[in-house]
Structure 1
């Protein structure tokens, strides 16, 4: 996993520049990133659930939201499931 991928540094103009923005500039349509260091087992479970829901027909935003709800059953503390955010195209499977 790429923990803390959305954390960036402040640059001129107070713009946050991080790995997340670099992927967007490079043409990546969608990024799911964590805002803080998250347990690898929890991250793996979240991503497994995300892809299952996305392949099942949900759009990316819905799939992430449902994966976070699923993760709460095993890991109820927000530390494990609240770190993840989606940036970019949240639409349907392509």
Structure 2
């Protein structure tokens, strides 16, 4: 994570981290609030999507598909300024589908403006 955080990527816009536990802090950085999501932000990504715990594969794929569909503006472009709203809408839909199982949808987070 330190190497990632040292990068400077001024053109970066969105990092979508599909792996599980991307907000977990490593033991060697336990006294700091550094995890993979924050390392991507320090490297220059203003919008980062990550997860607090294990993501069920089918749900993770559904979230990613829905978020990217919401961000797609046509011609291959993404409006990353809508990332928080896209994730919020996606998670709300999952919450409506699985109201008794928040472990399926509550782990998805957006870091950024």
TM range (shorter): 0.7 to 0.9
Matched with 2:70 is: 53
TM-score, structure 1 as length reference: 0.78
Matched with 2:92 is: 69
Equivalent residues of 1:53, 1:66 under 8 A apart: no
**Count of aligned pairs between the two proteins:** 88
Equivalent residues of 1:5, 1:20 under 8 A apart: yes
Q: Does 1:17 align with 2:41?
A: no
Q: Which has the larger radius of gyration?
A: 2
Q: Does 1:79 align with 2:94?
A: no
TM-score, structure 2 as length reference: 0.66
* SS of residue matched to 2:55: coil
- For each residue in 1:7-50, what CA deviation from the matched residue of structure 2 results, as whole angstroms up to 9, or x when unmatched? 113647x3221111211111112111100011111011011111
* SS of residue matched to 2:109: strand
Choose from 31, 48, 53 the match for 1:36.
Answer: 53
Equivalent residues of 1:72, 1:81 under 8 A apart: yes
* SS of residue matched to 2:39: helix
> Which whole-Å CA distance do the structure 1 matches of 2:102 and 2:37 have between them?
22
Q: Does 1:27 align with 2:44?
A: yes
Quote the offset at 1:73 in angstroms.
4.4
